[in-house]
Amino acid sequence: MNKKFIDFMQGYSDAKMAVAVSGGVDSMCLLYWLHEIGADVICLHVNHQLRAEADIETDYVKDVCTGLNIPCKIFYWNDEKPENGLEAAAREARYKMMTDFCHENDIEYLLTAHQSDDQIETFLMNLSRGSGLYGLSAMLPKSSRDGITILRPLLNVSREEIKKYCEDNNIKYFVDSMNSDEHYTRVKIRKNRHVLNDDLGISDARILLAIQNLSRTREWMDKYISNRVEMVLRSWGAMFGVSFLFDEAEEIRLKFLGMLIQRIGGDGYPVRLNSLQNALSNLHKDCKFTLGHCTIRRLNDRILIVPEGKRTSFRKRHEKRKKLI
């Protein structure tokens, strides 16, 4: 078993956990390693009903869990499938079903099998888009989604190590046909990533080191911004002075506004960067608009954010004996 995985999991030895298992090599490896350390875990498998082999994979995951004596919950994505953005819609549905299950069963941690090659590919995809700090720091080992803590214990383990473990231990796994479809940017990057090392000398280890350095800065920013969000967040929304937003550097303004909108609007995904930039531009003057299922209003030197459809009266939101931040 991998030492990096063992070291990561030491802090969660007594925790009740769920693990997302697709039947692919990464998640099968994670499932077996969790079994080896005796983790208190339940397997969650989502059948998106998008491929002919999906039912075969579902039956296989159930059979493996039965053999390992690990409880297994199967979900079926029965919603109407969109013509555009299918992959994102499937991911959103998958996480919604799993996090809802965790809430209903008092499970604090949901583990996913993202590994170091996924991390590098995410970094390069975001680099190609011109992403900033948050995009380039890629995936965090520990994050939150819909009130559930997401753990990624394989982020420092390579795809090669994972495949070797499964093959050495005769663990069957499925290969998604989408993994070889070069219509997807991630697949193009995966198949050509060797050029960075072979021709430019930029190794995987150096890319991972850069991601770790960026992640440390991101963690500091997250703590700082989270504290400021808590200062203004109320049960009905948030209200604060214009200077509380605009006295900060632009990167902090963007994340502060985005975090507030996500908390108040309840979306699983952050607001897009260009939408936040437009919102900041609007807030330089009196305005009223909607974004991320929120209504945002500026009047004179105050900004109000409430769930979409709620009243935007500043007078109603005044709190006695509380100085406006």
Distance between CA atoms of residues 308 and 216, nearest Å: 34
Residue 319: what pLDDT? 52
Band (318; pLDDT cuts 50, 70, 90): low
Distance between CA atoms of residues 80 and 168, nearest Å: 40
pLDDT in tens, 141-196: 999 888 899 999 999 999 999 999 999 999 999 987 666 666 777 888 888 888 89
Residue 215 pLDDT exceeds 50: yes
CATH class of the 210-307 domain in this structure: mainly alpha
Other beta carbons within 10 angstroms of residue 162's beta carbon come to: 26
Distance between CA atoms of residues 249 and 258, nearest Å: 14
Q: Which two tokens stand for residue 37?
A: 């350390």
Residue pair 127/169 in contact by the 8 Å Cβ criterion: no
Residue pair 292/271 in contact by the 8 Å Cβ criterion: yes
Residue pair 207/126 in contact by the 8 Å Cβ criterion: no
Closest CA to 45 of 72, 66, 77: 72
Residue pair 174/57 in contact by the 8 Å Cβ criterion: yes
Q: Which two tokens stand for residue 113?
A: 């099998």
The model's pTM is: 0.80
Q: What is the mean pLDDT of the chain?
A: 90
Distance between CA atoms of residues 39 and 270, nearest Å: 32
Domain ranges for the chain, please list them.
3-192, 210-307
Radius of gyration of the chain, Cα coordinates, nearest whole angstrom:
22
Residue 4: what pLDDT? 92
CATH class of the 3-192 domain in this structure: alpha beta
Q: Which two tokens stand for residue 286?
A: 């009196």
Band (325; pLDDT cuts 50, 70, 90): low
pLDDT in tens, 21-78: 999 999 999 999 999 999 999 999 999 888 878 899 999 999 999 999 999 999 999 8
Residue pair 101/107 in contact by the 8 Å Cβ criterion: yes
Other beta carbons within 10 angstroms of residue 271's beta carbon come to: 21
Band (321; pLDDT cuts 50, 70, 90): very low
Q: Hey, which residues does 150 pair with through a beta bridge?
A: 110, 143
